Amino acid sequence: MNDVLSAHRLLLLLRDEIGRRYRVHLIVSGVVALLAILGPAGFVGAVSIPEDFYRGFFLGVLFLWGTISTSLALTDLHDRNANSAFLLLPATALEKTLAPLIVNTVVFIVYLLIFTSVLSLVGEALEWLSLGPRNEWFSPFDRTVWPVIPHYLVVQSVFFLGAAWFRKAHYVKTLLAVAVIATGVAAVNVGVAWVLGMGSGIFIVSDVDGGVIQPLSWLFSAAKVGYFVVLPPFCWFVAWLRVQETQVSHGV
């Protein structure tokens, strides 16, 4: 087991991953915090500020900052000047894949939850001192926040695959690839629906009680399972294969 995955080596890689990137994240955190605190104040007197401002702030930052950070997670893998050090690290391809993956999922989500909570306390304290209470305090246990986390994991997995697959312009190329694939899937769905006919009754099945199952309901259920359960592990798996391939071919 230690030849493939070692907890000790993985922890060292996690420490190195966080240590190399924490300065950039601190700078981004400062800019984001400034925008979050000054943003509501800039709207006072112009428009009403929604009570769930910090919930929307968290979700927006989660997907924007999270996907950008993820798309840059494996830049050392493709950088001709840095990939030698990356490939020569005394760790397996699986460990080199898991370290940035964990940082951009578990670590990033936990950090952003804490960051937004503290930011909302500071921001609302300043608002209360100057203008009175404006927004609702952000809670990391908010019921409206956690249902969105699985969607982030799906989106993040796609950008993580793009980080491993593309050599340059990872974010833009991943967006373009997603747009092309989504367009193709939509076209296929429209074609299938037109050929089979949504109201033809081909996919209507009677249950044991004599009731009727809605047309293509099974297809939507399968798509949901594929979206949440199959797609993220598949993207992470292919990303690992890409790292493994690059490591075997010495970065070529």
- Name 48's Cβ contacts closer than 8 Å, sequence gap at least 6: none
**CA 222 – CA 11 distance, rounded (Å):** 36
Express each pLDDT in 120-142 by its tens digit.
888 777 777 766 555 667 888 88
pTM of this structure: 0.85
Express each pLDDT in 161-188 by its tens digit.
999 999 889 999 999 999 998 888 778 7
Supply 54's token pair.
Answer: 């910090």
Q: Is 74 helix (H, G, I), strand (E, B) or coil?
A: coil
Residue spans of alpha helices (H) in the chain: 7-43, 53-71, 75-78, 83-87, 93-102, 108-130, 149-165, 170-196, 217-225, 231-248
Query: Residue 212 forms beta bridges with which residues?
Result: 206
